[in-house]
Amino acid sequence: MDALIKERINQVVKGDHNAFGEIVEIYKDKVFQICF
């Protein structure tokens, strides 16, 4: 999971905004699970 996120972050740094959207989706699910 962490490796996937690190790869997405590297893509965002290179200018891939779709990868940023995927990171947001992944973390949105994690935050939701923590809260409820």
**What residue ranges do the domains of the chain occupy?**
2-35
**What single DSSP character describes residue 15?**
T
Collapsing DSSP to helix, strand or coil, 14 comes out as: coil
- Full-model pTM: 0.49
Banded model confidence at residue 36, pLDDT cuts 50, 70, 90: low
Collapsing DSSP to helix, strand or coil, 16 comes out as: coil
pLDDT, tens only, 2-26: 887 788 788 888 888 887 888 888 8
- Position 15 scores a pLDDT of 86
- Position 35 scores a pLDDT of 66
- Position 4 scores a pLDDT of 78
